[in-house]
Structure 1
């Protein structure tokens, strides 16, 4: 019986190796790539049954971009987005950008290798219920915030000043101040005697989605 094929796309070399080892040790034929460009070159030659895609892949196309490419060029390939981001808004897009019947799994919720294998098998069987869409979990971090509010929190976590954020968003400093104020209130973020509110906001973002890298 021919082995089922899995394409692993992850820019973290250690994590890429660990995931590949778990899958190959369970009988899958595995090929891996560090970025979307490498992955696109592999898709036609390797022809995987399923692709595990990190969303943040460094410079160049994201895992979401790669997912769109796969669904347009090779729709038979099943997709699992495996990411630290609570939902796609942290990458600047909405959950509607996730292809139908794909899974969206937060890495920190995969506590055991066996759970990852269960998810892979379920997606291959075309069984992607709500438990396979962590981006739709109402208890996920910052679920109540808008995409714009998440974007401004990201800018704060990057250490940008209100002036820099205003320039980036092509708006006024006053508008940014108001947006940040509403965002902190909606997120329930408050400072204290040892940490100012802006630092608390940066910490909250990093705890939810990891350190942001560069500007969008």
Structure 2
């Protein structure tokens, strides 16, 4: 998305300079930080549209930063940069609340594509490119998913979701009782075609959604696993036959 403001937080000065110049060339604006000490001030004073955050940094690492921001209710989109392509780095980042991840080394064009995809999810309903009126909503249990407002409301108020979590929930909720494979969810919710069979990011997003929808007893009701296939949304929360 043109004119998007991106904050790059990485202790590698050369990488910060490279990404800053490249993002500007792509029609975005970019600011950088060498570590996370001033990230809250940046978010408050000159709020970016998205944060690119390195995992391995001196002081507070990227995982701790994401955990802290999400605990504060901060929903700004975050893409994490991992020094290694190991699954554990990716999974931990998503579990903490990151919207996406990218393993170093990477092509700057790939980062641009990830940024654009995350921003599209953050600003527009992804499910089959549907357009929803302000009053469109799906109610289930003690929750209401306002599709037009891109907001999940529970008995305790608005539930904080990342753009990826909202995207996955909106796809599931608008296809009730229809089992969807992981690959279908990757395509419909996250815009990632030809899903990698080893990519378990959908599982992490579903796990976080289940925690958000937990009524206190730890039981899974509305998003149920279809073993060997994927997931299905059950509005009444009753076991599927």
Q: TM-score, normalised by structure 1?
A: 0.52
Q: Spell out, residue by residue over 1:155-202, the C-alpha distance to the aligned partner (whole angstroms, 9 max, x if none).
A: xxxxxxxxxxxxxxxxxxxxxxxxxxxxxxxxxxxxxxxxxxxxxxxx
The correspondence of residues 73-92 of structure 1 with structure 2, limited to 5 A, is 73=72, 75-87=74-86, 89=88
Counterpart position of 1:119: 114
In structure 1, runs of 5+ residues without a counterpart are 139-216
The correspondence of residues 156-195 of structure 1 with structure 2, limited to 5 A, is none
Pair 1:87–1:120, CA change in 2 (3 A): same
Counterpart position of 2:20: 20
The secondary structure found in structure 1 opposite 2:6 is: strand
Relative to structure 2, which stretch is displaced further, 62-71 or 21-30?
A: 62-71
Measured in 1, the distance between the counterparts of 2:96 and 2:199 equals 14
Measured in 2, the distance between the counterparts of 1:121 and 1:96 equals 18
Partners of 2:70 and 2:96 within 8 A in 1:
no
1:30 aligns with 2:30: yes
| Higher strand content, 1 or 2 | 2
Partners of 1:32 and 1:39 within 8 A in 2:
no
Partners of 1:7 and 1:52 within 8 A in 2:
yes
| Higher helix content, 1 or 2 | 1
Count residues in correspondence: 132
CA RMSD of aligned residues (A): 3.3
Q: Tell which structure's C-alpha radius of gyration is larger.
A: 1
Shift of residue 69, structure 1, vs aligned partner: 2.9
Measured in 2, the distance between the counterparts of 1:74 and 1:21 equals 31
The secondary structure found in structure 2 opposite 1:125 is: helix
Shift of residue 90, structure 1, vs aligned partner: 5.7
Shift of residue 2, structure 1, vs aligned partner: 8.6
Partners of 2:5 and 2:30 within 8 A in 1:
yes
Partners of 1:49 and 1:76 within 8 A in 2:
no
Measured in 1, the distance between the counterparts of 2:40 and 2:6 equals 14
In structure 2, runs of 5+ residues without a counterpart are 127-163, 165-185, 201-241
Measured in 1, the distance between the counterparts of 2:78 and 2:93 equals 14
Shift of residue 88, structure 1, vs aligned partner: 7.0
1:106 aligns with 2:79: no
Partners of 2:94 and 2:100 within 8 A in 1:
no
Counterpart position of 1:65: 64
Pair 1:69–1:34, CA change in 2 (3 A): same
Measured in 1, the distance between the counterparts of 2:3 and 2:40 equals 21
Shift of residue 76, structure 1, vs aligned partner: 3.5
